[in-house]
């Protein structure tokens, strides 16, 4: 049994090495520009191992996307010491950015799935659904929220994606600032579904003031 276990460990390590290499390459190049030879050469493995472990390049890409999503979702989950919705949401968003800071290649790969086939599409849809369910749970929302709330939460997740891409590219905002910006956007979106409205004149004045005044990149926005 010992040789079998050792062989299993070697297989697992080699497979993970291929996945890590693929994630790095797919993050920096278009899917079409990454060849099986590129992955094998960078990982230092035999060409046939891609087919053996993943069935080919498409299977390798799908598994890379699956791993990246699973890691991100697991890292974002609420911690035991986060007791209320505010703590859970702030923790969720902050950990989202922490993960991207630590694994930029993985997040970039997640955002490069527009060309993907049905298998990858299903992986992405499933992962986004799980992330949405986690967000609803943290907020205390019903499993099947009203249409306005559902649309607001889905729309905010798109906002979070684009904020993350901007932050990952520029890295000119403090982590606390970008976290609070995203949380405040979520609060505003949810508040609007409840019919809460600001005074239009106050809104316009605020927009004009913000457009003219550079925001400090070191001070987080006040929590609501």
pLDDT digits (tens, 9 = 90+) for 83-114: 899 999 999 999 999 999 998 878 888 887 76
Predicted confidence (pLDDT) at residue 115 exceeds the cutoff of 80: no
Q: What is the pLDDT of residue 162?
A: 92
Q: What is the mean pLDDT of residues 128-139?
A: 90
Structure pTM?
0.78
Confidence class of residue 224 from pLDDT cuts 50, 70 and 90? Answer: very low
pLDDT tens-digit profile of 149-160? 999 999 999 999
Q: What is the pLDDT of residue 192?
A: 86
Residue 122 CB coordination number (10 Å): 13
Is the Cα dihedral 167, 172, 175, 179 positive or negative?
negative
Q: What is the pLDDT of residue 218?
A: 43
Tokens describing residue 199: 């005074």
Residue reference for tokens 């600032």: 177
How many residues are present in the chain?
A: 224
Domains with residue ranges and CATH for the chain? 64-211 (1.10.357.10)
Q: What is the pLDDT of residue 213?
A: 65
């Amino acid at each position: 049994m010992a040789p079998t276990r050792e062989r299993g460990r070697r297989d697992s390590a080699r497979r993970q090495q291929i996945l890590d290499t693929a994630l790095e390459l797919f993050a920096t190049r278009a899917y079409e520009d990454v060849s099986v030879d590129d992955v094998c050469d960078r990982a230092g493995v035999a060409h046939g191992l891609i087919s053996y472990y993943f069935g080919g390049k498409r299977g390798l890409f799908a598994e890379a996307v699956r791993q990246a999503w699973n890691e991100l979702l697991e890292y974002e989950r609420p911690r035991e010491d986060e007791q209320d919705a505010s703590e859970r949401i702030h923790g969720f968003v902050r950990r989202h950015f922490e993960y991207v800071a630590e694994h930029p290649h993985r997040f970039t790969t997640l955002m490069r799935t527009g060309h993907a086939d049905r298998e990858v599409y299903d992986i992405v849809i499933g992962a986004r659904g799980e992330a949405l369910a986690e967000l609803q749970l943290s907020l205390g929302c019903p499993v099947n929220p009203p249409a306005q709330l559902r649309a607001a939460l889905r729309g905010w997740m798109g906002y979070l994606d684009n904020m993350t891409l901007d932050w990952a590219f520029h890295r000119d905002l403090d982590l606390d600032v970008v976290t609070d910006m995203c949380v405040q956007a979520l609060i505003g979106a949810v508040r609007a579904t409840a019919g809460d409205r600001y005074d239009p004149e106050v809104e316009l004045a605020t927009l004009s003031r913000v457009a003219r005044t550079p925001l400090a990149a070191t001070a987080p926005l006040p929590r609501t």
